[in-house]
Amino acid sequence: MRAPASWLGQAFNQVPDSDNRIHSDELAREYGFTGALVPGVTISCYLVQPAVQAWGLHWLERGAVHATIKAPVYDQHDFRVDVEPQASADRYQAQLFSDDRLCAIAQVWLPEALEVEPEYQRHTLMADDHAAPVASREVMEDLRRQGCLAMAFYWSADHEMASYLRNQLDVPELLRIPTTAQSTESVVSDSGFANMSFLLGCANRHFAAVARMSPWIHLEIRAQNFQAVPLNTALVSEMTITDLFNKKGHEFADCVFNLYMADSGRCVCSIQQRAIYKMRSV
């Protein structure tokens, strides 16, 4: 395996029309930001790209990351990811800088042994027309006690998170979408595997679907991969709210999301996420 290396890129906001309007220029500026925020899951993906480049399928099948967002990254702004190798060859620290600011940090590694895969619980799936309540502390407490509906996802070439950079050639080969991959049939190849922006984004979308919230901000993730996700794969996300708290006027939620193959029930990724679901008044 190669050693993970630092790299340079240009940030890409894949979801300017997201229901989370913090990714739009107008609302982001109302909250004091310069412009639309690049999704936190995409920033995390920038921090793990050196692992995919260096460790390939090994990382997609069993890699782990703990990433924290410290400052916003803006669409089309340049960034750099500085990689600092550790004593062990299968671990590194990363820092992401943009606009002369430290914007995110991460620990990325290959565990010596995999944890036990979370077991598929077969929670009831959320209907397409599910009417979620407006997010409040009371609503979130109810969801914490009663449990959350599961949510279906599909990894495909035309998904809005199919790339986390504007130019596919800047993405590691394993994650590039083959030009002939528009078929709905299963594709077996050495490319087109789901990137972490998509996988972490499933957790984001699930979080935002159980209660209506806008704006909200993704802050921190801990994720463990269990298997790579080939193109044209149906997934199911199961969600548990583990903690709710207020800090400096913001309402926070800690959640666990387990993503499973819809056909086999095998876990592909387990994600612990911290987010602000209700920002203090402007």
Q: Give the pair of three-digit tokens for residue 74.
A: 């803006």
% of the chain residues with pLDDT over 90: 74
- pLDDT, residue 217, reads 85
Q: Residue 46: which of 91, 92, 11 has the closest Cα? A: 11
For the chain, the structural domain boundaries read 7-111+123-278
DSSP 279: P
Would the pLDDT of 259 be above 90? yes
Phi/psi of residue 30, each to 5°?
-65, -30
Angle at 118 between CA 115 and CA 120, to 5 degrees: 155
The one-letter code for the residue type at 209 is A
- pLDDT, residue 25, reads 53
- pLDDT, residue 133, reads 94
pLDDT per position as a tens digit, 147-187: 999 999 999 999 989 999 998 889 999 999 987 544 444 44
DSSP 140: H
pLDDT per position as a tens digit, 60-107: 999 999 999 999 999 999 999 999 988 888 999 999 999 999 999 999
Q: Residue 225: which of 195, 262, 263, 186 has the closest Cα? A: 195
Residue 218's pLDDT band (cuts 50, 70, 90): confident
CATH code reported for the domain at 7-111+123-278: 3.10.129.10
- Averaged pLDDT, 120-138: 94
* Cβ neighbours of 185 (radius 10 Å): 7
- pLDDT, residue 87, reads 80
* Highest-pLDDT range among 1-15, 18-32, 41-55: 41-55
